[in-house]
Amino acid sequence: MKNIFVVTDFTPASRKAAMYGIEIARHFGAKLFLFHAYQAPVQVPESYIFYTTEDVWQTVKELLEKEAAAIDPGKTVEIELCASEGAAGHAIITEAGIKHADLIVCGMKETVKGLRRIFGSTTTALVKVSNIPLLVVPEDTELKIPGHIALACDMDSETSTDTVTVLREMGEKFRSKLSVVWVVSDEVDEAYKARFRPTEVVNHLRSMNPAFEFPTGSNITRALEGFAKDHSIDMMAIIPHKHNFLERFFVESTTTNLVFHTHIPLLVLPQKKKNEAVAEEGHSMQNSMK
């Protein structure tokens, strides 16, 4: 990873996420982009004070400078300050793409999870639309190197190995133990385990020497939470599947549930399907030949 994109709104939750992002950037020798989305204040008709985008940017820049000094006082990582005017979700995705971000890091506030479940949040919006891996860092998480990572996986054969590239890079860099977790509804007998065969995606992670686990439970979120607690998991990775409109509308997302419930960092790996990966590779080759 070369570019880590950290989102901040200058709250304690985003500070925790930024500090986590700094550690990742430091270990990878990566550049860190510290980003804030803002909207210029609306002028009150009775007021003679006029606000311009430049006025707001100067204020935001000062806040970003203070935040950068707080998360990396020793200046051990190259940090570029950046901001954009507009709705947070759209601004983040657009700017992260411009900066060629390999990973977006954002926080999740502990105290307002209940309210955010009702009204939605920037973080959950990013989970749904981002095509860049997203690391959600809960406000109450402990800052430490992920020594044990769990990958929640349902073994979709259409998933491209490119989907888990960031996970493999992190696992190799931090020498993390990997548990591939497949939640099942009933007890798994020995015959079932013997028939189990890893997909290409899991084989792509063989450098992490993955162990296979089959926790049981009808509620996937609760089963994963229980597994994480029982096995001292430091980071949970999940691959949300691309659904059609009706599936998105009627089926509650396991990923979204985990965002609201997790107490450990959640690495969201947008699914890349095999045919899409081939198309992207062909497009890249055409561009290189021009």
**pLDDT number for residue 91:** 92
Percentage of residues in the chain having pLDDT higher than 90: 46
**pLDDT number for residue 193:** 60
65 and 151 together in one domain: no
Query: 3-class DSSP state for residue 268?
Result: strand
Burial tier of 265 (Cβ tally within 10 Å: 0-12, 13-18, 19+): buried
The answer to which of 1-5, 138-142, 256-260 has the lowest mean pLDDT is 256-260
CA angle centred on 221, ends 101 and 90, rounded to 5°:
30
Asked if 3 and 33 count as a contact pair (C-beta separation under 8 A), the reply is yes
**pLDDT number for residue 249:** 40
Query: 3-class DSSP state for residue 188?
Result: coil
73 and 12 together in one domain: yes
pTM of the model: 0.84
The residue among 109, 140, 171 that closes a domain is: 140
Domain that holds residue 282: 144-290
Half-sphere exposure of residue 95, counting CA atoms within 13 Å on the CB side?
25
170 and 204 together in one domain: yes
The residue among 120, 140, 160 that closes a domain is: 140
CATH of the domain at 290: 3.40.50.620
In the predicted model, what is the mean pLDDT of the chain? 82
66 and 168 together in one domain: no
Mean pLDDT of 22-42: 90
**pLDDT number for residue 265:** 94
Asked if 151 and 183 count as a contact pair (C-beta separation under 8 A), the reply is no
Mean pLDDT of 202-213: 90
14 and 129 together in one domain: yes
21 and 149 together in one domain: no
81 and 194 together in one domain: no
**pLDDT number for residue 62:** 93
In this prediction, residue 195 has a pLDDT band, given cuts at 50, 70 and 90, of low
The number of folded domains in the chain is: 2
170 and 89 together in one domain: no
The residue among 121, 140, 159 that closes a domain is: 140
156 and 248 together in one domain: yes
In this prediction, residue 242 has a pLDDT band, given cuts at 50, 70 and 90, of low
136 and 170 together in one domain: no
Which residues are CB-contacts of 53 (< 8 A; sequence separation ≥ 6)?
Answer: 40, 85
131 and 157 together in one domain: no
